């Protein structure tokens, strides 16, 4: 159990990580709005956002491995400012650069952004050895992360009220760099895990349980990406494009409620709770389809759908330490890769169907993904996952 000084230091590190995560939660939407502001189509905007999150997905496990060796603060302190500079370059060139060049800049931005949540969980797990306290920490982290998803879009909405989407993207990049500095300072009092060579622990992907969890998480990401782009498209059709950040915040309010319920009612069977949360996600996403044409109905449907989000992520976090021994940052980063890879697919598909059909069709994509995930999740049981950890 951590000593009181370490508890305070852990608390400060979590707060610093949340402050750094706030601008990150608005980057994808800012990219979409900057593209639309420059008269680019939603297909192009979805593609840009897709390659941005794909870049993150590809490099996250490698950055997690580096964090296991050198520490999360070092990895984030180098990667986050580089990502910020690249995003600023995108904002400057979005009106004049060809789409191919913008795709390159977007993928570099995603590739250089460390998965801060995953690295923080991997950094803190050895410092909280008690499983019950650690599970509670993960539930609290998932809930607090939803506050970030509320705060980021609201910050973006405020920036859009004061200036353009391009200017907002530059400010978000600056906030990310500032957050990196704060995170490094907050981590200084905490003990650093011993550096780990890759040969000292098996690859996280050697666990069948983790591989099964990653498949479900990809489909959760498809749902996230499709609904996010669908929100922007539906609001533009209603003539309220600049309100997209506000509606993303409304969506996250529902997720915050779900996170509070997950903390209040913990579970000893996260796999079973994952099945239930996926069923709720699929049914509630269907509610958004007929609500796409009304701002009031859309807001209400998003709150209901959001309730499933934090529990879905919290149960995933709780499963990861049960299936992985060592290389925890890399294991958590693979979970991040899975969700952002799904987001890349979801935003791309939703952008295409939104352009060709309607924004409601984008929400239909979001509803279909957790249905497939439900089929996969029913195959996961905690006892089987634990037994497969060394496989």
Cα angle: 127, vertex 133, 137; to 5 degrees: 80
pLDDT mean over 162-167: 89
Say what the alpha-carbon torsion angle 227, 233, 237, 239 is, to the nearest 10 degrees: 100
What is the DSSP code string of 220-275? HHHHHHHHHHHHHHHHHHTT-GGGHHHHHHHHHHHHHHHHHHHHHS--S-HHHHHH
For 193-211, the pLDDT digits (tens) are 655 554 466 778 877 778 8
In order of 44, 167, 349, 350, the CA distances from 356 in angstroms are: 13, 30, 11, 10
pLDDT above 70 (res 191): no
User: What does the alpha-carbon distance between residue 132 and residue 268 come to, in Å, rounded to a whole number?
Assistant: 10
Q: What is the CATH number of domain 4-191+200-387?
A: 1.20.1250.20
DSSP 31-89: HHHHHHHTT--HHHHHHHHHHHHHHHHHHHHHHHHHHHHH-HHHHHHHHHHHHHHHHHH
What is the C-alpha to C-alpha distance for residues 321 and 256, in angstroms, rounded to an integer?
A: 24
pLDDT tens for each residue of 337-348: 888 788 878 888
The CA distances from residue 288 to 102, 226, 283, 363, in Å, are 31, 12, 10, 6
The pLDDT value recorded for residue 69 is 80
CA distance linking residue 237 with residue 171, whole number of Å: 27
CA–CA separation, 224 vs 17, rounded Å?
A: 22
**pLDDT tier, 379 (very low <50, low <70, confident <90, very high otherwise):** low
Kindly tell me if the per-residue pLDDT of 357 is higher than 90: no
Residue whose token pair is 């500032």: 178
Contacts of 367 (CB under 8 A, 6+ apart): 223, 282, 285, 286, 288, 289
Give the rounded percent of residues in the chain with a pLDDT score beyond 70: 89
pLDDT at 296 over 50: yes
Q: What is the DSSP letter of 380?
A: -
Query: Does the pLDDT value for residue 109 go beyond 60?
Result: yes
Task: Please report which confidence band the pLDDT of residue 317 belongs to, taking 50, 70 and 90 as the band edges.
Answer: confident
Pull the structure tokens for residue 306: 């959001």
pTM reported for the whole predicted model: 0.77
């Amino acid at each position: 159990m951590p000593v009181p000084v370490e508890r305070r230091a852990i608390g400060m590190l979590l707060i610093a990580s949340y402050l750094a995560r706030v601008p990150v939660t608005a980057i994808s939407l800012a990219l979409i709005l900057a593209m639309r502001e420059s008269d680019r189509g939603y297909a192009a905007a979805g593609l840009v956002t897709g390659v941005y999150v794909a870049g993150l997905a590809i490099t996250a496990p490698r950055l997690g491995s580096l964090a296991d060796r050198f520490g999360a603060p070092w990895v984030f302190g180098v990667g986050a400012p580089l990502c910020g500079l690249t995003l600023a370059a995108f904002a400057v060139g979005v009106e004049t650069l060809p789409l191919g060049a913008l795709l390159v800049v977007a993928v570099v931005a995603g590739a250089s952004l460390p998965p801060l949540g995953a690295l923080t969980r991997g950094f803190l797990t050895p410092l909280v050895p008690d499983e019950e306290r650690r599970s509670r920490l993960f539930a609290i982290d998932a809930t607090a992360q939803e506050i970030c998803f509320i705060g980021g879009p609201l910050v973006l909405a405020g920036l859009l009220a004061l200036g353009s989407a391009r200017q907002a993207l530059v400010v978000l990049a600056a906030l990310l760099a500032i957050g990196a500095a704060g995170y490094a300072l907050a981590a200084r009092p905490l003990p650093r895990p011993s550096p780990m060579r890759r040969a000292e622990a098996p690859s996280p992907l050697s666990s069948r349980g983790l591989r099964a969890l990653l498949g479900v998480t990809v489909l959760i990401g498809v749902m996230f990406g499709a609904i996010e782009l669908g929100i922007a498209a539906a609001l533009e059709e209603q003539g309220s494009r600049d309100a997209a950040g506000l509606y993303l915040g409304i969506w996250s309010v529902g997720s915050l409620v779900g996170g509070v319920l997950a903390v209040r009612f913990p579970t000893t069977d996260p796999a079973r709770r994952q099945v239930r949360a996926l069923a709720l996600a699929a049914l509630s996403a269907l509610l958004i389809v007929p609500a796409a044409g009304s701002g009031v109905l859309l807001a209400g449907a998003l709150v209901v759908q959001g309730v499933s989000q934090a529990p879905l992520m919290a149960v995933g976090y709780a499963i990861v330490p049960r299936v992985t021994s060592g290389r925890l940052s890399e294991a958590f980063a693979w979970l991040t890769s899975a969700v952002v890879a799904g987001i890349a697919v979801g935003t791309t598909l939703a952008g295409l169907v939104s352009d060709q059909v309607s924004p409601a069709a984008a929400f239909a994509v979001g509803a279909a993904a957790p249905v497939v995930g439900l089929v996969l999740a029913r195959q996961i049981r905690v006892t089987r996952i634990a037994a497969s950890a060394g496989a």
